[in-house]
């Protein structure tokens, strides 16, 4: 084989691994015949999302007495119009609804809340640099050859922080992003306990944040948002097989996490119900005024409009 041919093959073999990076941090127009839903346009994005979660969980619990604790996960993603990894993010909310009439022990660091007479606790795994809301400039690749060779990437490792759901949704609003959510999906108590354990690990400060976590993750030094919520069945960094995937950021990143959940987590009875990754998705799109002109809408079904 000629040297030039060998070099070309080498380069081509490297390119897929670059495209398969999981980063955290121009899209289709609205198809003809499908419209953006403006019914809740005057509500904030946070209100729309939390209203949907509350309604879905309430419907799952039913009207009768809830005799046992129930547990749910709600995976999320957002991405900007260019689906840029520096402006995309994957995150996950977890809910425990207490049995009616019980005297529950709330998980350390969480608060007991009430909705329509039912008590619950909730938390979100949303892993980003600790100062990201004040300094939303995510370094993904820096330096010549950074995307090709991990050791040439000059992006720093940052102290990380897991932000709550309202703060994370405000970041999506700032980016005028398309926001996706799935679920709520019911999980078992062991699944909930693993989620709490993951949150506790992130809160220790021993794990840092880096968007391009190649090498850093395996050395147990730093991870990105995608890997912070991956591997539900095994606590990071000892488990979880998700490493890279084609354009694995934003919606694609969370979809890949769900693929893992529907295999490993389901097989271990941590995820208790089937997931249809494409059909279950609920979309929210940024619309600056009450028209659909220029709206970034990557969803195949009607999405809810938001502007604040």
- pLDDT tens digits, 133-153: 998 888 888 888 877 777 788
**What count of residues does the chain have?**
308
Rounded Cα distance, 167 and 147, in Å: 30
Q: Which residue do the tokens 């619950």 mark?
A: 120
Contacts of 187 (CB under 8 A, 6+ apart): 71, 72, 73, 94, 195, 232, 265, 270, 271, 272
115-149 burial, b at 16+ Cβ within 10 Å, e below that, comes to eeebbbbbbbbbbbbbebeeeeebbbbeeeebbee
Q: Which pLDDT does position 159 carry in this prediction? A: 96
In this prediction, residue 131 has a pLDDT band, given cuts at 50, 70 and 90, of very high
End-to-end Cα spacing for the chain: 59
In this prediction, residue 235 has a pLDDT band, given cuts at 50, 70 and 90, of low
Q: Which pLDDT does position 247 carry in this prediction? A: 64
- The residue ranges of every structural domain in the chain are 21-306
In this prediction, residue 3 has a pLDDT band, given cuts at 50, 70 and 90, of very low
Q: Is the pLDDT of residue 16 over 60?
A: no
- Greater confidence (238 vs 129) lies with 129
Contact between 199 and 123 (Cβ < 8 Å):
yes
Q: Is the pLDDT of residue 278 over 50?
A: yes
DSSP state of 293: T
- Greater confidence (284 vs 11) lies with 284
Whole-model pTM: value is 0.86
Q: Which two tokens stand for residue 79?
A: 């991405």
- pLDDT tens digits, 169-212: 999 999 999 999 999 999 999 999 999 999 999 999 999 999 88
- Greater confidence (32 vs 181) lies with 181
Phi and psi at 229, nearest 5°, equal -110, 0
Q: Is the pLDDT of residue 305 over 70?
A: yes
Q: Is the pLDDT of residue 6 over 50?
A: no
Phi and psi at 48, nearest 5°, equal -60, -45
């Amino acid at each position: 084989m000629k040297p030039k041919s060998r070099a070309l093959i080498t380069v081509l073999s490297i390119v897929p691994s670059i495209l398969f990076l999981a980063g955290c941090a121009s899209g289709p127009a609205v198809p003809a015949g499908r419209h953006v839903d403006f019914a809740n346009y005057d509500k904030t994005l946070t209100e729309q999302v939390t209203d949907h979660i509350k309604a879905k969980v309430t419907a799952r619990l039913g009207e009768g007495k809830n005799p046992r604790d129930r547990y749910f996960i709600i995976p999320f993603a957002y991405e900007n119009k260019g689906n840029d990894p520096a402006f995309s993010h994957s995150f996950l909310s977890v809910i425990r609804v207490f049995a009616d009439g019980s005297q529950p022990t709330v998980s350390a660091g969480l608060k007991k809340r009430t909705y329509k007479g039912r008590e619950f606790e909730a938390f979100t795994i949303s892993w980003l640099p600790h100062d990201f809301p004040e300094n939303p400039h995510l370094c993904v690749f820096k330096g010549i050859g950074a995307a090709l060779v991990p050791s040439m990437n000059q992006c720093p490792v940052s102290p990380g922080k897991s932000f709550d759901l309202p703060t994370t949704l405000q970041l999506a609003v700032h980016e005028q992003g398309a926001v996706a959510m799935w679920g709520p999906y019911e999980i078992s108590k062991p699944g909930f306990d693993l989620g709490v354990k993951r949150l506790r690990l992130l809160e220790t400060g021993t794990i840092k944040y880096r968007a391009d976590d190649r090498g850093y993750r395996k050395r147990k030094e730093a991870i990105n948002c995608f890997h912070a919520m991956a591997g539900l069945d095994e606590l990071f960094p000892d488990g979880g097989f998700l490493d890279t995937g084609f354009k694995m950021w934003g919606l694609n990143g969370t979809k890949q996490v769900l693929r893992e959940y529907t295999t490993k987590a389901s097989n271990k009875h941590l995820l208790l119900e089937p997931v249809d990754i494409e059909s279950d998705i609920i979309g929210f799109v940024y619309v600056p005024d009450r028209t659909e002109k220029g709206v970034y809408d990557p969803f195949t079904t009607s999405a809810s409009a938001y502007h604040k």
